[in-house]
Amino acid sequence: MRRREFITLLGGAAAWPLMARAQQPAKLPTVGFFSAGSAASLGHWVTALVQRLRELGWSEGSTIAIEYRWADGHDERLAGIAAELVQRKVDVIVTHSAGSVAAAKRATSTIPIVFAIAADPLGTGLIASLARPGGNVTGLSFQAIDLATKRLELMREIVPGLRRLAILANAGNPASVLETNEVQAAAGTLGLEATSKEVTRTEDIGPAFDGLGNSAEFLYVCADPLLAINRMRIIVRATGLHLPTIFSAREYIEAGGLIAYGANIPSLFRRAGDYVDKILRGMKPGDLPVEQPTKFDLVVNLIAAKALGLDVPPTLLARADEVIE
């Protein structure tokens, strides 16, 4: 081979790696989503988030990548999941509930964190203020705790002579602890006797109902991922004890619960997509105010009411956003 031909061939070969690197697609912006719940129980909430991102121009697999992680009710997994997403260098972390957000905060102080729902982000120390949350965390308040008194008033409309209620809460969730305290305080103001039943894992739920049928006339279930993924188990046990139930989300009523009042969660997950969009376009999470719910749902299950022998007042039904019958 002539020397000139060899040099030309060698020069072309040297360019191959450069050409290959130039042709490799750029890394897509990546969202790391994780939840203390399960995909089977809470996946439709995430669908609302993904749909909103698509509307804003972020198509999964095309212009954005999303990595999903589920703790399936095992809160002890949250720290490891958060650390894994940080190690994978995602651009934004999206999660919900105080325990998950706290785990993400401990894992990183630089990657933006968006909470789709948080029962009391100020009270649980997730943010410095609603107007200017500061740091790397922002999102949407669920206001589950603020609505505790309203739920007790709804309970008394259904059972006018109500005197005793039980509260089911996840003792490992700081927001559930705050909600329990708020319910107990509101119950005292209304002249009601409240008993707290605490769980920290799925296996605790069954024993929590032991003797409950003789000590309570209504069951208040706090907002929590562990309780959400076990909603069918909770409702079956409560129904077996002839115990009416009130919840914070409509998903419980679809599973057979009696009544729910609270913020519309899919709408909050949609709005979380707006936060992700703004952050990916350069805004700092600490400069984005924490927003409040704008849509609330009052859902009543007349099938459950009939099974319990309860007559739901027409005035309450007239206010309901949805009646299952």
The mean pLDDT of the chain is 91
* pLDDT mean over 143-171: 93
- The answer to whether the 30-143+264-294 and 148-263+297-324 domains have the same CATH topology is yes
What integer pLDDT is reported at residue 146 of this predicted model?
Answer: 83
Nearest to 33 by CA among 73, 74, 65, 72: 65
pTM: 0.87
* pLDDT mean over 287-307: 96
Model confidence at 144, pLDDT cuts 50, 70, 90, reads confident
What integer pLDDT is reported at residue 25 of this predicted model?
Answer: 57
Q: What is the pLDDT of residues 62-98, one digit of tens each?
A: 999 999 999 999 999 999 999 999 999 999 999 999 9
What integer pLDDT is reported at residue 145 of this predicted model?
Answer: 81
Find out if CATH 3.60.15.10 is the number for domain 30-143+264-294: no
Find out if CATH 3.30.70.3420 is the number for domain 148-263+297-324: no
Model confidence at 317, pLDDT cuts 50, 70, 90, reads very high
- Comparing 10-14, 84-88, 93-97, 314-318, the range with the smallest average pLDDT is 10-14
Flag whether pLDDT at 9 surpasses 70: no
Q: What is the pLDDT of residues 174-201, one digit of tens each?
A: 999 999 999 999 999 999 999 999 999 9
* pLDDT mean over 58-64: 96
Nearest to 122 by CA among 104, 147, 139: 139
For the chain, what are the domain ranges?
30-143+264-294, 148-263+297-324
CA–CA gap between residue 79 and residue 102 (Å, rounded): 9
Residue 301 makes CB contacts below 8 A (sequence gap 6+) with 253, 256, 257, 258, 259, 323, 324
- Comparing 87-96, 105-114, 144-153, the range with the smallest average pLDDT is 144-153
